[in-house]
Structure 1
C-alpha cells in the first residue's frame, strides 16, 4: 500500500479539501476530487467524501495512492453490493458481511465499510460491537440505539455470545473434534501475522472445532471460538498444519481438488446471543457464500444449520 500524509498548515486553513489535496499531490483538481469521491482520503482519521470540506489548522490528511498495486482511481468500484439484512427490529440489525469489505472505516483503505453501509441504511451511525476480518464473510450485528449497542457489547465481553464459523482447509489428519488451546502473539518475523504457540508470552485463546469432511484434497471444519482474538481461527488452524484455503497471509493454498479459493475461505455462519431488550436468546445465520459452498458441494455434505451444538464430551 502506498499513501501520502500531510498536515494542514497556514496555507491550507479554511481551504477546500480538494484544492489542498491537488496542491500537495501536484495533480489536477478533478483528479483530487475523484480520490475523495472513491473514499481514498481521510481527514483527522475519518474518511471524507466531500471535496468541499474546509480544513482546520493542524488536521492530518491521509490519501491512499496505491492499494494492492493499483491506483484507487483505476480500481474505483462499481455499484456497491446490496446490503444483505438477516434480521432487523427496533434494537438490532444483523447483516451478512460480504468478503472483501472492511467492518469499519480504516485509515488507508479505499471504498465503503460495512459500518458505512449500515449507517446509510439506518440514516444514522450504527453501533458496531464486533468485527470480522476483511476477507471473512458472515453474520455481523449492530446496535440501533446506544443502550442496545452497550447490551450487545456486553454479550461478547462476558463470553455469552456463541459463534459458529465454517472453513475449508487443506488435507490434514485431525481428530474428529477437539479444542485448540494455544496463546496468540504477534509474529515478529512476519508483520501482520499472529502466531499460536506456547513458546511466546501470548494472550489466552481457545477454539473448539469439529471436522465435517476429511478428504484427500481438502477438509471442511466447523469452528466454535471460545475467545475472540485477532486472527484467532486463522492462526490456530495454521498451528495445526491446516491453514485456511485462500489465506495468503498464512500460506493457505490457492485451490484444492481443482476448486479455486479466491479469498480466505472463512465464514461466520451463525451467532447466538441474548436480545438487548428482552434478554431472550436469538440466533442469526448467514447462508454459505458461493466460493465456500463449492467445497461443500464437492464433499457431498450440507453445511451445519440450526442451534450451535457444543462438542460432545470425550468417551
Structure 2
C-alpha cells in the first residue's frame, strides 16, 4: 500500500479536507473529492467521507494512493484524451488537457500524458519537457531516440521559445521583467518562492499585460528559462497569483467567473525541427475555462511569432 500523510498546520488549518488533499498532492479538487468519496482519506485515524469537513490544528491526514497495485480512482477517473497538434516521422506535438499529469507520479490517478502518447504511438514516447498537472497546452515528444535528444537540446540550450497566457489577480503593470531566483519554500512544502533572500536558481520571465481590470488581469508570459513553477511563483511575487492556483493563493473566481483550476495555458511553442532544423511553430487553442476571461475582458488571444523581447511584444 502507498499512502501520503500530512499534518494540518498553518494555512491548512480550517480548510476543507478535499481542498487540503488537492493542495498536498497537486491534484484538481474534483479528483481530491473523489478520493474522499471512495474512502481513501483518513483524518485523525478515522475514514472521512465528508469532502467539506474542515481540518483542526494538528490533525493528521492520510491518503491511500495505491492498494494492491491500483489507485483508488483507477476506475472512477479515466484520464482525459489529448489532441494531436502536429505529427511527422520524428515529432509528435499534443495539446495537454488540464488535470492530466505529464508523467506517472506517486499520486497517479489514471494514465499520464506520456502513457497516453506512448499508447497512441504503439511505442515509448520521448518526453523532453513537462507542464504542471493543472496547466494545459503544447507539449512535444520525440518519436525516436535521436529526435528526443535533439528536442531536449532545444530546451536545455534555450532555443525553444514559449508563450503562455494566464488570468491573474489585479494589479499587474503593463509589462515587465521578473528575474527573481527560485528556491523551495521550506515553510510550505510543494511551493517555490521567488526571492533574492535565498540561494535560488536563476529564473527570467518577460510579461505583457493584455488586460488590467479591477478584478483580474489577463497576461502574456514569455519565460526565458524553464524552472519548476517559474510562472506561478513569479506572478505570486508580483502580488497577482494565477486565478484558481490554490497552492499559491490564487482566487477561485473573479468578476463572477469561476476559476476551476490554475488558469495557465502553454499557448505556443517554437523550436527547431530535430531532423531538418527548420522552425516548427505550434499553437494550442485556449480552453474554455480561460477563454471566458478573454471574452469578459474583450480581448483577442495573441497569435503569430513568439516575441524574443518586450520590445517585440
> Could you tell me which residue of structure 2 aligns to residue 291 of structure 1?
289
1:153-164 counterparts in 2 under 5 A? Answer: 153-164=152-163
Contact persistence 2:79–2:110 (CA under 8 A): no
Stretch of structure 1 that moved more, 87-96 or 302-311: 302-311
1:305 aligned to 2:307? no
**Cα gap change, 1:65/1:152 in structure 2, threshold over 3 Å: closer, same or farther?**
same
> Could you tell me which residue of structure 2 aligns to residue 196 of structure 1?
194
Q: Determine the C-alpha separation between the residues in 2 that align with 1:285 and 1:74.
A: 32
1:271 aligned to 2:254? no
**Cα gap change, 1:108/1:81 in structure 2, threshold over 3 Å: closer, same or farther?**
closer
> Could you tell me which residue of structure 1 aligns to residue 248 of structure 2?
250
Displaced runs of 4 or more, over 6 A: none
1:154-189 per-residue CA deviation (whole Å, 9 max, x = no partner) reads: 0001000000000000111x3311110100000000
> Could you tell me which residue of structure 1 aligns to residue 203 of structure 2?
205
Q: CA deviation at 1:311?
A: 3.2
**Cα gap change, 1:241/1:177 in structure 2, threshold over 3 Å: closer, same or farther?**
same
Partner of 2:197, secondary structure, is coil
Stretch of structure 1 that moved more, 107-116 or 231-240: 107-116
1:125 aligned to 2:120? no
Contact persistence 2:177–2:204 (CA under 8 A): yes
Q: CA deviation at 1:106?
A: 1.4
1:115 aligned to 2:76? no
Gap regions ≥5 residues in structure 1: 6-63
Partner of 1:116, secondary structure, is helix
Q: CA deviation at 1:83?
A: 2.5
Q: CA deviation at 1:79?
A: 4.9
Q: TM-score, normalized by length of structure 2?
A: 0.77
**Aligned match of 1:221 in 207, 219, 222?**
219
Contact persistence 2:73–2:110 (CA under 8 A): no
**Cα gap change, 1:196/1:312 in structure 2, threshold over 3 Å: closer, same or farther?**
closer
1:229-282 per-residue CA deviation (whole Å, 9 max, x = no partner) reads: 000000000000000000000000000000000000000000000000000111
Q: CA deviation at 1:100?
A: 0.5
Q: Determine the C-alpha separation between the residues in 2 that align with 1:312 and 1:205.
A: 16
Q: TM-score, normalized by length of structure 1?
A: 0.76
Gap regions ≥5 residues in structure 2: 5-62
> Could you tell me which residue of structure 2 aligns to residue 166 of structure 1?
165
Number of aligned residue pairs: give it. 251
1:138-165 per-residue CA deviation (whole Å, 9 max, x = no partner) reads: 0000000000000000000100000000
**Cα gap change, 1:154/1:290 in structure 2, threshold over 3 Å: closer, same or farther?**
same
Question: Larger C-alpha radius of gyration, 1 or 2?
Answer: 1
Q: Determine the C-alpha separation between the residues in 2 that align with 1:253 and 1:161.
A: 31
Q: Determine the C-alpha separation between the residues in 1 that align with 2:79 and 2:107.
A: 19
**Cα gap change, 1:149/1:74 in structure 2, threshold over 3 Å: closer, same or farther?**
closer
**Cα gap change, 1:189/1:80 in structure 2, threshold over 3 Å: closer, same or farther?**
closer
Q: CA deviation at 1:218?
A: 0.6
Contact persistence 2:205–2:223 (CA under 8 A): yes
Q: Determine the C-alpha separation between the residues in 1 that align with 2:217 and 2:83.
A: 28
RMSD: 1.9
